[in-house]
Amino acid sequence: MNAHTKAILDLLDERYGTEYICYLNHENAWQLLIATILSAQCTDARVNIVTKDLFVKYPSVEAFANADLKELEQDIRPTGFYHNKAKNIIACCRDLVEKFGGQVPSSLEDLTSLAGVGRKTANVIRGNIFHEPSVVVDTHVKRISRKLGLTREDDPVKVEMELMKVLPKDHWILYNIQIITLGRQICKAPTPRCGECFLTEHCADFQQRLKNGGLKKDAAGKKRRRADG
């Protein structure tokens, strides 16, 4: 790990701590799996509102496997893309019942064989349920990792592979949590709050824009005032 990466991780640890946090409410592996499928193009807060009643109505993998498609679509409608999500959830749960004895598998290969489960969802499960070090590349992680100069890749799988090389394994899951928090609170798209950010000294994007004079006065000014006193 080089000095640039270490400085970023040290600041993230200092600001956000080293506790593992999952923003999707769940009590077991299959609930997290379904919640993660629902979280595509939807906020975790909205998913948590939906799953509060959803997991009461469907209390098991078998209940989802036998769900009526049209009814489930209406149950999850607030999460968006509910036609595909409902179809994938039912197919996924049927596979869990028929191929895995109703249990959520732990391997990346088995997880990604399930309907609606890509590498991102699989790594969420591997990291949060099975505590297997995994790099979850969502929009926040991809966007901010590029800004920080930790990757130049744009494809999520390539970003994942590159981050696995530059980050120490004991920080893979933690980095995901910290960067997602940073993305929600400060480094927002499309207007990041650079004047409030604690990583600007190590942010390749910020430093380049500062050099080129492309920063708004308020962001650059706040950073200068903070440095001066």
Q: Which residues are annotated as a binding site?
A: 187, 194, 197, 203
- 170 versus 34: the higher-pLDDT residue is 34
Q: Would you say residue 224 has pLDDT above 80?
A: no
Q: Is 229's pLDDT higher than 60?
A: no
Active site (annotated) includes residue 68: no
Q: How many percent of the chain have pLDDT more than 90? A: 79
Q: What is the pLDDT of residues 172-182, one digit of tens each?
A: 989 998 999 99
Q: Provide DSSP, 156-190.
A: HHHHHHHHHHHS-GGGHHHHHHHHHHHHHHTS-SS
pLDDT for 21 equals 83
**Each residue's pLDDT tens digit, 79-131:** 999 999 999 999 999 999 999 999 999 999 999 999 999 999 999 999 999 98
User: What pLDDT score was predicted for residue 214?
Assistant: 67
pLDDT number for residue 217: 43
For the entire predicted model, the pTM comes to 0.81
Residues making up the binding site for [4Fe-4S] cluster: 187, 194, 197, 203
> Tens digit of pLDDT for each residue in 50-79?
999 999 999 999 999 999 999 999 999 999
Q: Which of 85, 120, 142, 147 is catalytic?
A: 120
- The pLDDT of residue 212 is 85
> What mean pLDDT value characterizes the chain?
91
Q: How many residues does the chain have?
A: 229
Sign of the dihedral through C-alpha 136, 137, 140, 142: positive
- Is 120 a known active-site residue? yes
Write phi, then psi, for 188 (nearest 5 degrees).
-85, 150
For residue 201, give the DSSP letter.
G
Burial class of 55 by CB neighbour count within 10 A (0 to 12, 13 to 18, 19+): buried
Q: Per the residue annotation, which of 13, 44, 110, 138 is the catalytic one?
A: 138
220 confidence band (pLDDT: 50, 70, 90): very low
